[in-house]
Amino acid sequence: MKPSLVVGGALTALLVGMALLSLVWTPYSPTGIDILHKLAPPSATHLLGSDSLGRDVLSMIMAGARNSIAVSVIAVAVGAGIGVPLGCLAAAKGGMVNEVTMRATDLAFAFPALLTAVMITALAGPGATNAMIAIGIFNIPVFTRVARGAAIVIWQRDFVMAARAVGKTRWAIAVGDVLPNIAAVLLVQMTIQFALGIIADAGLSYVGLGTQPPQPSWGRMLNDAQTYIFRAPLLAVFPGAAITLAVLGLNLLGDGLRDRLDPRLRGR
């Protein structure tokens, strides 16, 4: 097995495990303040120290992972849920449908994704739900493009030709033959979009438009930490490291999966 798959898989498992664990247990309440012990350095009581209100940093990072994953998963689900059918439709129908869908994705790509997400959350009000929707909207054209590109290749394969020759409907072919064959490509794209979603969520939270306090989020932890950058630099290091490792893990996982699932790359 490729090292990228192992490392990526391990980091992703750690991220997801931490998020799941935070549902049932964190060392302290991630929202519980303890002003007397604020800005404590890492120690046996607070493994990663405490923040400016005395909240336990490890607990906040765990709960932050949960919030971050929730936003990214839903954003990916929104993107794939709408983008993949659109892409498959474009590939299956061709002609005008294909043209219109592709120009629409061109249009969507013309907007800078994160700035538009900022605009959407600013208009609809800050909060995790709106962040999910805003990030999700920008996943749609990505999945449309990827699904269409991969599906067009499959549509020209001999077994599809054969299926059409025996009278199978386009709809049945798209669902029964094409979709299973592009699933691997989509899975890889999902991990990449998942990683981008975590960055986008952190960015939105950093500017105050993502997950709202008192719910912890990595982006806001970074924002809070910058005021204390000289007194307690570790406060910025831990959420920063969490974001980096999560994104690195997901990207490596995506890379590893692609190598493994793509027959042309297999064995290299």
Partner 1 sequence: MRGLSVAAALFLLPAMAQAKDTLSVGMVLEPPHLDVTAGAAAAIREVTYANLYEGLTRIDEKGEIRPGLAESWTVSEDGKAYTFKLRAGVLFHDGTPFDCDVVKFSYGRAAAADSVNAQKPLFAAIAKTECPDARTAVVMLSQPTASFLFNMGWADASMISPKSAATNKINPVGTGPFKFKNWAKGDRVELVRNPDYWGEKAKLSAVTFRFIADPTAATAAMLAGDVDAFPQFPAPEALDQFKADKRFTVNVGSTAGKIVMALNESRKPFDDVRVRRALAYAIDRKQYIDGILSGFGQPIGSHYMPGDLGYVDLVGAYPYDPAKARALLAEAGIKPGFTMTITTPPPGYARKGGEVIAALLEQVGITVKLAPMEWAQWLDIVFKQYNYDATLIAHVEPRDLGIYARDSYYFNYKNPEYRAIYDKYLAATDPAAQIALLGQLQRKLSDDEANVFISTLPKIGVWNARLRGMWGNLPVPSNDVTAAHWAE
List residues near partner 1 by CB under 8 A.
31-33, 35-36, 38, 52-54, 126, 208, 212-214, 226-231
Asked whether 117 and 134 are in contact (CB, 8 A), the reply is yes
**Closest approach of partner 1 to the CB of residue 214, in Å:** 4
In the complex with partner 1, the residue whose CB is nearer, 67 or 191, is: 67
Residue number with CB closer to partner 1 (105 or 121): 121
- Least separation in angstroms between residue 68's CB and partner 1 is 19
Residue 25: phi and psi, rounded to 5, are -150, 135
Q: Under 8 Å CB-to-CB from 263, ≥6 apart: which residues?
A: none
Q: Where are the alpha helices (DSSP H) in the chain?
A: 3-24, 57-93, 95-110, 113-124, 128-155, 158-165, 170-173, 179-206, 218-226, 234-261
- Which residues are CB-neighbours of 184 under 8 A, at least 6 positions away? 257, 258, 261, 262
Neighbours of 147 (CB within 10 A): 26
Closest approach of Cβ 128 to partner 1, in Å? 12
Nearer residue to partner 1 within complex by CB, 121 or 189: 121
Q: Of 217, 75, 46, nearest to 142 (Cα)?
A: 75
Residue nearer to partner 1 on the CB measure, 17 or 32? 32
CA–CA dist 96, 147 (Å, integer): 17
Angle at 102 between CA 99 and CA 104, to 5 degrees: 105
Could you tell me the smallest distance in angstroms from the CB atom of residue 136 to partner 1?
Answer: 23
Smallest separation (angstroms) from partner 1 to the CB of 219: 14
3-class DSSP state for residue 50?
Answer: strand
Measured from the CB of residue 125, what is the shortest distance to partner 1 in angstroms? 8
CB nearer partner 1, residue 35 or residue 100: 35
Nearer to partner 1, 17 or 213 (CB): 213
